[in-house]
Structure 1
Amino acid sequence: MERVKSEVLGRGDVQDLIASAWASVRAMIVAAAEDERSELRQRARAAILSLGRRMVTDRRLRDKIDGWLEDAAVYVVTTYRDEITSLISETVASWDADHTSRKIEAHIGRDLQFIRINGTVVGALAGLVIYTVSRALGG
């Protein structure tokens, strides 16, 4: 039976049929996912909302999902550490300093001014404390 199965699945026309069937199924899934009124999308939305409601009230479920997510994050980081480091390093290295500064200022906006002011005030206070301590100690 294994030999017959291998022979049948190894034939080019069977492979073409499988590829065609998969392409059709994939196209139907993608179309359903893009259509806001599709049964697939409505059921997926209902399932996600139901899970969210259950997570609000069921601590055990929340803890279980937290554990799964933590395990997944640890696995991804330990398995793909070098790739993640490389991706981040290459991305940051490719940034243009002026362009990046403008983008940060545009997105952070007013908050950036408060950060700058707070930094100036904290720096001035730290300097004043250091000066006062050094003068008090006879420096």
Structure 2
Amino acid sequence: MADRVHGHLIGRAFLLGAACGGRSMAGPAAVALTAGPVPARGLSGTRARRLIAASALAELVADKLPGVPSRLAPPALAARLVTAGASAAALARRDGATAALPVLAAVSGALAAGVAGARWRAWAGRGALPPVAAAVLEDLAVVGAAAAAVRP
């Protein structure tokens, strides 16, 4: 039974990382917004949850703006990998599990989804879809992955 639960956590961590590969703040927002009661001070408090959620919403809007750098540019990709790993570590902690394998799964998911998302947007940019429509479809996939990842 423990192996199955652990495998389930690794799959959820991969999905959480994939969400971060699409939108870097999706994973932290999903974990923060589904956490149980927390102290009202520090980074785990209500203000921090609101800040993380606001950052995720701002990223959803900013992603649609022209001139946004590639998600595969080193700083953007590094941010996605870091938020994926941190989100998976928080998810593992919440589930009472060690974080090493979930973090590895999340970073792998972020890398895979980052590349897939960049290819999706490049394909859509060749006239297959209007850019905003492609971005909104990607947003839906990101939110779906993040929501599935934080379900117990």
Higher relative contact order (CA 8 A, sep 6+): 2
If the length of structure 1 is used for normalisation, what is the TM-score?
0.21
Q: TM-score of the superposition, structure 2-length normalised?
A: 0.20
Larger radius of gyration: 1
